Amino acid sequence: MTVHPVVMAGGSGTRFWPLSRKARPKQFLALATDRPLIVETVNRLRGLATPARTWVVCGPVHARAVRRLLPRLPAANVIVEPIARNTAPAIGLATLQVQARDPDGVLAILPSDHHVADVPAFQAVLRRAAEVAQSGALVTIGIKPTRPETGYGYIECGAPVEASAGVAVRRVKRFTEKPNRELAEAFVAARTYAWNGGIFLWTARTLTNAIKEHCPAMAPLLERIADAYGTPEFDCVFAELYPQCENISIDYAVLEPRSVKGEMGSEIYCLPADFGWNDLGCWSALHEHVADCGPEELARKNVFDKSDQPCINIDSRGNYVYAPGKAVALVGVNDLVVVETGDALLITTRERSQDVGKVVAELKQAGREDLV
């Protein structure tokens, strides 16, 4: 069994503004450790796949940074989209590249900007998922929910169809995108739901056939691009045809159509897992990661992240502050997020930190590209 990881590095990370910018989105920041998230993502694949079998998909603005941070990756394994068209075209193109070399190889689609605390457990689940995918199934890895989070998608799982080495394999009943609070609470209470961590596995042959079935207009465009790969015409063909692909996620393009058949007919399997996953999706998630404590203590704990100056707390709790090089004093404030980067200052609440991306939209509308 050969695994070909495909690392998706095209995200903009706007919810981490002002630290995250267009030229340096979240995946290139050292948030969880002292290394950028994309480097950590590739490092945790050691023993599962070689650099020669690892692919990264990114935009033209970030191609140089990817090659600099991942020098062992062959230059040809960095797929640079001429324009962002969501995950379905990007994954489809990477799939065709792998299929040309290894039709029965298993692709592991991985976000570039998540944190995993327990790497051995992550690798064990990924290996088991790859075994299941070899049979021709579409496989996703679900994350055990720890709270009724409304910022994540959820996977409803049916009864186990098999279990091996302590890893259950369940048939997917449906996907639900970012539910409201009441629905999220019901999902967690039901204990049959997992968070959708955006990790998918399938063989190149399986996904190629699925795209032909569910995206008949996109498939021939991707095939023509793949056929031109390595020729002098490739850049022109890529630039002309790729923008014609539908702007759609792999979830909506392939996974949801395959899961609507119901529990007995679904062709998608989920392996629920717990390996210390955190998508670090916003500043409040980073507060939780750095604090590294239970919910009750988290509500009280102030975090002065990467601070090397005096920090004073007076009658304040549950705050997150990122202001390297600055002395910071908190007096009588609770549950705030304060981020200072030199040219910008963000002040919000932990509860509203998911909305920080709206700031970027406002700045773009105002023509302040220098702050985006």
**Has residue 115 got a pLDDT over 70?**
yes
**Across all residues in the chain, what is the average pLDDT?**
92
- Token duo for residue 107: 């692709």
Three-state secondary structure call for residue 266: coil
Instruction: Provide the pLDDT for residue 244.
Output: 97
**Angle between helix 204-214 and 87-101 (nearest 10):** 140
103 band by pLDDT with thresholds 50, 70 and 90: confident
Band (pLDDT 50/70/90 cuts) for residue 168 is confident
* Three-state SS letters, 312-358: EEECCECCEEECCCCCEEEECCECEEEEECCCCEEEEECCCHHHCHH
pLDDT level of residue 240 (50, 70, 90 thresholds): very high
**pLDDT tens-place string over residues 273-326:** 999 999 998 999 999 999 988 888 988 999 999 998 999 999 999 999 999 999
Integer Cα distance of 150 and 183 in angstroms = 9
- Alpha-carbon distance of 199 to 355, in angstroms, equals 24
Tell me how far apart the alpha carbons of residues 11 and 19 are, in angstroms, rounded to a whole number. 15
List the structure tokens of 71: 């020098």
Measured distance CA(259)–CA(351) in Å, rounded? 32
CA distance 167 to 176: 23
Crossing angle of the two packed helices 87-101 and 218-228, in degrees rounded to 10: 50
What SS3 class is residue 89?
helix
Looking at the predicted structure, is the pLDDT value of residue 344 above 50? yes
251 in Cβ contact with 268 (< 8 Å): no
Q: What is the pLDDT of residue 150?
A: 87
Total-model pTM: 0.91
**What is the per-residue pLDDT for 266?**
55
The answer to whether the beta carbons of residues 268 and 172 sit under 8 Å apart is: yes
Six token digits for residue 26: 């979240």
Pairing status of strand 268-273 against strand 154-164:
unpaired
Per-residue pLDDT, 264? 43
Q: Which helix (H) or strand (E) holds 214?
A: helix 204-214
Question: Is there a contact between 33 and 104 (Cβ–Cβ < 8 Å)?
Answer: no
Percentage of the chain exceeding pLDDT 90 = 81
- Structure confidence at residue 256 as a pLDDT band (50, 70, 90): confident
Q: CA–CA separation, 99 vs 2, rounded Å? A: 12
pLDDT in tens, 206-218: 999 999 999 999 9
What does residue 224 show for φ and ψ, rounded to 5 degrees? Answer: -65, -40
Mean pLDDT of 141-161: 90
Rounded Cα distance, 210 and 204, in Å: 10
Residue 342, both tokens = 């030199």
Domains of the chain are 3-278 (3.90.550.10), 283-355 (no CATH)
Whether the pLDDT of residue 28 is over 90: the answer is: yes
* pLDDT, average across residues 248-258: 88
pLDDT exceeds cutoff 80 at 191: yes
Position 170 confidence tier, pLDDT thresholds 50, 70, 90: very high
* Predicted confidence band of residue 11 (pLDDT cuts 50, 70, 90): confident
* Among 84-88, 99-103, 280-284, 329-333, the range of highest mean pLDDT: 329-333
* Cβ-contact 276, 117 below 8 angstroms: yes
**Residue 370 burial by CB count (10 A; 0-12/13-18/19+): exposed, middle or buried?**
exposed
Q: What is the pLDDT of residue 71?
A: 96
